[in-house]
Chains A and B, each alone.
Chain A
Amino acid sequence: DGGITQSPKYLFRKEGQNVTLSCEQNLNHDAMYWYRQDPGQGLRLIYYSQIVNDFQKGDIAEGYSVSREKKESFPLTVTSAQKNPTAFYLCASTDSPSMNTEAFFGQGTRLTVV
């Protein structure tokens, strides 16, 4: 079955450590996105990528980094520079945002920094 997979589902890290969240899709989608969601809040765009080896900052990119070495994969690194990293992180992909196509989401990763 085609879909988008995030791992792990839950992640605990100590303050000051970098951590990488995985996102893989087998939908052959060009575009991939990372969002952050805090309790009772909407989705805020961290980074997005339209094509392999290219990505752009979203609204809250500070303290995060990404790579897009393969079409299928768009990992997100939460660095120690991110002041409040505890949140629900969602990865999504679309065929193309300019087309009227659905965004597919992974099940999310709940990151808790202690």
Chain B
Amino acid sequence: RKEVEQDPGPFNVPEGATVAFNCTYSNSASQSFFWYRQDCRKEPKLLMSVYSSGNEDGRFTAQLNRASQYISLLIRDSKLSDSATYLCVAGRDDKIIFGKGTRLHILP
């Protein structure tokens, strides 16, 4: 079993729709959690950190459920520019682990 698992995708959704990404992590020692965005043939870049209390940044909302070892990302009112691969990340004392990513295509 992979340490960080995500929905396989791809997700093809119309512009303006709400998109939800799910992610689970298997190592209960994980202490920090993030969502990254990766555009085609580019390096990943931090989208947002994820906190137990939940956090929101504009159209993006991230949630962490430590009991279920589950992380989510919600994108509201999706834009064409949101098309990318979204990577779930879990960090613990010695390393950071990336999920395989979920590709999102926003359709005009």
Please report A residues at the B interface, Cβ cutoff 8 Å. Answer: 31, 33, 35, 41-43, 45, 48, 50, 56, 58, 88, 90, 92, 94, 97-103, 105-108
User: Considering the chains assembled together, what is the distance between the CA atoms of A77 and B107 in angstroms?
Assistant: 41
Interface band, chain B: 20 to 34
Q: A99-B32, A108-B43 are in contact. Are A50 and B97 (CB under 8 A)?
A: no
Is B100 in contact with chain A by the CB < 8 A criterion? yes
**Per-residue A-contact encoding for B26-54, CB less than 8 Å = 1, 0 else:** 00000110101000011111100101000
Contacts A43-B44, A48-B94, A108-B42 aside, 6 further interface pairs with beta carbons under 8 A come to: A35-B98, A50-B94, A92-B96, A100-B31, A100-B51, A102-B34
Interface positions of B (Cβ within 8 A of A): 31-32, 34, 36, 41-46, 49, 51, 87, 89, 91-101
- Docked-complex contact B87 and A42, CB < 8 angstroms: yes
Bound-state CA distance A45–B3 (Å) is 12
| CB-CB nearest in chain A for B49 | A100
**A100 vs B92: C-alpha distance when bound (angstroms):** 10
Q: Knowing A56-B94, A58-B95, say if A103 contacts B87 (CB, 8 Å).
A: no
* Contact assessment for A97 and B92 in the assembled complex, using a CB-CB cutoff below 8 Å: yes
Given A43-B87, A50-B94, A105 contacting B44 (CB threshold 8 A): yes
Residues in B whose Cβ lies below 8 Å from that of A56: 94-95
What CA separation (Å) do A92 and B87 show in the bound complex? 15
